[in-house]
Amino acid sequence: MVRPNRLKERLRLGHPSLGCWLHLASPIAAEVVAQAGYDAVVIDHEHGPGDLYNGILQMQAASGTAATTILRVPWNDPVYIKRALDTGAEGIIVPSVQNAAEARAAVAACRYPPEGIRGFANQVTRSAEYGARVEEYLAGLPERLIVICQIETPRAVRNIGEIAAVEGVDMLFIGPSDLAASAGHVGHPDDPAVLALIEEAIAATKAAGRALGSIPLPGRRVEAMLAGPFDFVISASDVALLRLGAQADVSAHRQR
């Protein structure tokens, strides 16, 4: 049976949801993280080292849990989006969407003709269980997929209204690090000018009635973000969890 999209259902019901990045390209790490109880795990192909075959292994590792498997593609590229969805990703995050035209392109890459341009090969792809569930997979689209557009530049913040108005965009996701860099404050998402852009993005997204996501933001605890106005927070990554755990262990036991 093709799985329901648990994250999308939680968003529909208004339940705040928690995610974790997968940067290690490790199926074992993916399995451990997914078993912890996150609502979604996000395989990162924008900054992570993995490829699509490796992404399948991570999805297989997480498939025994309820966690929705999302893949962040490297760019708003219809070829990569097509291949990512064919692997069975239950959603995509598209980096640096700047305007309505780019949002429409991302949605079109996720949909089959006539609504979109996605190529059809479900007789052999994992998304439809290698041809065993073609009709079931098609019957569930596009509701079964979640499409998330990242807001990462001042221009994108100004255009949130038109981006959010694109049918098929499920969530806008604020990327504070790239937003800071594009605003001239590399490495300083806590700069007052960046914080003002973040507040503008939050207000515009909620005014547009779209789900809102991000990572932990300067001065905001994850618990407070999920209490409102955020619907989805990717609170950790497998790399950070391993690094912080290792550092804590060394600090606890180092004698000299």
User: Mapped to the 3 state alphabet, what secondary structure does the chain carry?
Assistant: CCCCCHHHHHHHHCCCEEEEEECCCCHHHHHHHHHCCCCEEEEECCCCCCCHHHHHHHHHHHCCCCCEEEEECCCCCHHHHHHHHHCCCCEEEECCCCCHHHHHHHHHHHCCCCCCCCCCCCCCCHHHCCCCCHHHHHHCCCCCCEEEEEECCHHHHHCHHHHHCCCCCCEEEECHHHHHHHCCCCCCCCCHHHHHHHHHHHHHHHHCCCEEEECCCCCCCHHHHHHCCCCEEEEEEHHHHHHHHHHHHHHHHCCC
How is the chain split into domains, by residue range? 6-253
- CATH 3.90.1150.10, domain 6-253, yes or no: no
Q: Is 15 a catalytic residue?
A: no
Model confidence, pTM:
0.97
Q: Looking at 15, 23, 45, 47, which residue is catalytic?
A: 47
pLDDT reported for residue 1: 75
The stretches in the chain having pLDDT less than 50 are none
pLDDT reported for residue 2: 84
